[in-house]
A and B are shown apart, each in its own frame.
Chain A
Amino acid sequence: MTSHFFLLEAMVTQERLTWIEEVLKFYFLKLYPDTLLHHAKPTEVVFTFLITGDALYSLNEEDKLPIWEIILTLPSVKIILDRQELDLRGISIERLKMKNPEQVIDHNSMGLNGQTSFWKDVVKIARQNAEPLPSTIGYLQLESPYMHSSGLSTLRCLAAAIEVRASIDLYCYLDGVHLGHIHQNPIECQNIGKGLEELVDRAEQRGLQFQMLACGRCAAARGYSTWDDGKGITVSTCTIKPFRIRNLNVIIDQFERNHVILGKNVAYFKLKKSSSSSQYGTNDKDSAPTVTILITKSPYGTEHAFGALSFAVASAFQGIKTQVVFIEEGVYALTGTHHLGEGTQYFNLQEVIAAVAESENLHLYAYQPSLQQRRITKNKNMAAVLDIGKTELGQLLFHPSGGSQAGHQRVIFF
């Protein structure tokens, strides 16, 4: 039984792999040191890395391979690789596999179409962790199709979820709203819009639900919202039929449920339910999994950082315990003093951070090693963003503040 997993599809930098290694060491050394003893019985898999797409390159690169080797020396760690994507990229993982044959899995489960499928492995693991049954698997899409292969991964993942008889939710945010554009007509790859419509039919035939929700703000910015009733319902003439454009709060409503939510780069950590867990006197919001958002990109080059913070604010305002960690290039949001021209109606990211920093259910953190690596310091006015190191990051991921009765934590990389 897998307890925790990382699903990694984007390129993995040495920095990212290093902090992942550190949080795993924290987990085993500080929280479960007994598992490191020689006489300890081999346990079931505790951490699974599900690796596809460009993240696979990290398994064959000189600067990252030693880190993977250290990670694999930790007890109960397994890596499941996407064979199809390995072959497509011509990546050899023989060195790693020879040393760790039991832990490095590069053969995937068989799908209903008779072909092996990495995503079948992913949804099986997601479903193991799902409660209550019958389960739903959610997927958060942040990127547009065709420019990014994640659109195709989403389609494959959702198809695999239906195969294991899970209902599916697709949440489209930022450029992810383009997944639902009508009249897609790619010549040299699979049609994502058509694929989604086919999945709706397939889900229906099996008595499963499939809802697709797109963020209203993101859709309006991209020209999708052709009619708005002013009460949160938006109708678009340029999306496929099952696509629903709704206020971000409607997407966040889904995050109050307890299902596993996947994405291009996410993690799932099982938590001990807090002792106050009881059927009486429980606030519904306490049963929502804690959300940890990792802001990994610089603030203004793309919409990622602003989108991440908006998402976190929406989540916290709806009562979900939300942690934001500025990490990797995300720390640029905290350095220097940002100015936007006088009289503008827009705001810079530091203004947003300062305004929301004291909000209920929202905690902001700056990962110091990322600042140090770039030889930059945090703006002193950003005092509400608390400095954390490796140990504190481990604590946030495995012991989020305030406890939760959800039994797991969602980690989303932006």
Chain B
Amino acid sequence: MTEGQQIIHDLSDLTCTNLMIRLKILLRKTPPGSAIEFMIRRDQKDTIEVPFSRTGYDVRINRIDINRYQVEMKKNDEGQQQ
């Protein structure tokens, strides 16, 4: 992997609760200002989109297939101050 290349985690096998836990752990380990990227299913997207957007994260979602979404998530400025 070259420097600066982002790891895209495939989290589509996780249940919604485990996904939330995994994301929180990944976000804690990510340096301030950096984003995490991951692939999820539609029902997982519905589960995480609102809770994270509401609590200080920028959430960008791209649909890449019928039931597959690529998500980029990072703490926004408001979230950084929390």
Contacts and interface: CB of A to CB of B under 8 A. Distances in A.
Contacts of B80: none
A356 B24 contact: yes
26 contacts: A216-B15, A217-B17, A217-B18, A231-B41, A231-B42, A247-B15, A247-B16, A248-B16, A249-B17, A310-B17, A310-B18, A313-B17, A313-B21, A314-B17, A317-B20, A317-B51, A347-B21, A347-B25, A351-B25, A352-B25, A354-B28, A355-B24, A355-B25, A356-B20, A359-B24, A360-B55
Interface of B: 15-18, 20-22, 24-25, 27-28, 41-43, 47, 51, 55, 67
Chain B contact residues: helix, strand, loop or mixed: helix
A360 B82 CA distance: 13
Interface residues of A, number: 20
Interface string A217-248: 10000000000001110000000000000011
Nearest to B20: A317
Contacts of A231: 41-43, 67
Contacts, number: 51
Contacts of A351: 25
Nearest to B17: A314
Interface string A313-351: 110010000000000000000000000000000010001
Nearest to B55: A360
A249 B24 contact: no
Contacts of B16: 247-249, 314
Nearest to B9: A345
A231 B46 CA distance: 10
Contact of A230 (B28, B41, B55): B41
Contacts of A216: 15
Contacts of B21: 310, 313, 347, 352, 355-356
Nearest to B26: A355
Given A217-B17, A313-B20, A249 B47 contact: yes
A357 B36 CA distance: 20
A359 B56 CA distance: 12
A355 B17 contact: no
A354 B25 CA distance: 8
B74 to A, nearest CB: 16
A249 B55 CA distance: 20
Instruction: From B16, B17, B28, B47, name the one whose CB has the most chain A CB atoms within 10 angstroms.
Output: B17
A355 B18 CA distance: 12
Contacts of B25: 347, 351-352, 355
Contact of A317 (B17, B28, B43): B17
A355 B29 CA distance: 10
B63 to A, nearest CB: 14
Given A310-B21, A356-B21, A360-B55, A230 B67 contact: yes
Nearest to B67: A230
A360 B15 CA distance: 20
A8 B16 CA distance: 31
Contacts of A355: 21, 24-25, 27-28
A230 B69 CA distance: 13
Nearest to A355: B24
Contacts of B51: 317
A230 B17 contact: no
Contacts of B41: 230-231
The 9 closest A-B pairs by CB, nearest first: A355-B24, A314-B17, A217-B15, A355-B25, A231-B43, A230-B67, A230-B41, A232-B43, A310-B17
Given A347-B25, A352-B21, 5 more contacts: A217-B15, A230-B42, A317-B47, A317-B51, A355-B27
Nearest to A314: B17
Contacts of A352: 21, 25
Contacts of B20: 313, 317, 356
Nearest to B22: A347
Contacts of A217: 15, 17-18
Contacts of B28: 354-355
